[in-house]
């Protein structure tokens, strides 16, 4: 007795399209506004001749079906590929370059220049701060005097309002 074959076309073509779907995932990750079908069309047109299908539309449909089934896997792989990988040799090279830069910068002449610059900046700050300190110590800036000035300023403002109202009344 023989087993019956199911009717219709067999499921799956057996063709490995993972490299194309990886490219689709990379495109989608690089451009979040891109839609999957648009990314697939770009891959199909740029890789023309590298894929096996009756037509571009057949290839597109096959990629769409596989994308729908395995989208999460391809997206995760694309994200993993996007992450930079740092090796120990990268760290060593960076350390060597940093040390060389440090040695070039930290010469006695440069250190002396930095000290002179810092001293000049400190002197300018002192020149600016001393008059402010003297001004702050002036009797006019004592709290009780400041309250008097604030009260006087408020009275002057009130007088301006009154005079403005009088002048507006005269214009009528």
Confidence of residue 144 (pLDDT cuts 50, 70, 90): confident
Answer for the pair 60, 37: CB distance below 8 angstroms, yes or no.
yes
The answer to whether the CB of 81 falls within 8 A of the CB of 18 is no
Task: Measure Cα distances from 56 to 10, 28, 41, 50, 151 in Å.
Answer: 21, 20, 8, 12, 85
Q: Return the pLDDT at 13.
A: 65
Distance of CA 50 to the CA centre of its chain: 37
Residue 24: per-residue pLDDT: 96
pLDDT in tens, 70-90: 999 999 999 998 888 888 998
Mean pLDDT of 158-165: 74
Which is nearest to 53 in space by CA: 78, 24, 69, 43?
Answer: 43
pLDDT (tens digit per residue) in 11-24: 766 788 999 999 99
3-state secondary structure of 171: helix
pLDDT in tens, 98-122: 999 988 888 899 889 999 999 999 9
Q: Where are the domains of the chain?
A: 18-82, 91-137, 141-172
Angle 132-137-141 (CA atoms, 0-180°, nearest 5)?
95
pLDDT of residue 122: 93
Q: Which tokens go with 59?
A: 């290839």
């Amino acid at each position: 007795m023989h087993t019956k074959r199911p009717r219709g076309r067999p499921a799956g073509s057996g063709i490995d399209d993972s490299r194309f779907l990886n490219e689709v995932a990379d495109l989608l990750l690089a451009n979040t506004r891109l839609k999957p079908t648009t990314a697939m069309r770009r891959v199909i047109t740029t890789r023309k001749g590298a894929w096996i299908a009756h037509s571009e539309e057949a290839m597109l449909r096959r990629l769409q079906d596989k994308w729908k089934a395995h989208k999460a896997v391809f997206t995760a792989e694309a994200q993993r590929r996007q992450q930079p990988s740092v090796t120990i040799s990268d760290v060593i090279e960076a350390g060597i370059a940093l040390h060389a830069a440090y040695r070039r910068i930290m010469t006695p002449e440069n250190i002396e220049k930095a000290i002179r610059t810092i001293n000049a900046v400190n002197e300018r700050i002192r020149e600016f701060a001393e008059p402010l300190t003297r001004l702050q110590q002036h009797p006019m800036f004592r709290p009780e005097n400041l309250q008097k000035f604030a009260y006087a300023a408020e009275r002057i403002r009130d007088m301006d309002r009154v005079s403005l109202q009088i002048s507006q009344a005269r214009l009528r």
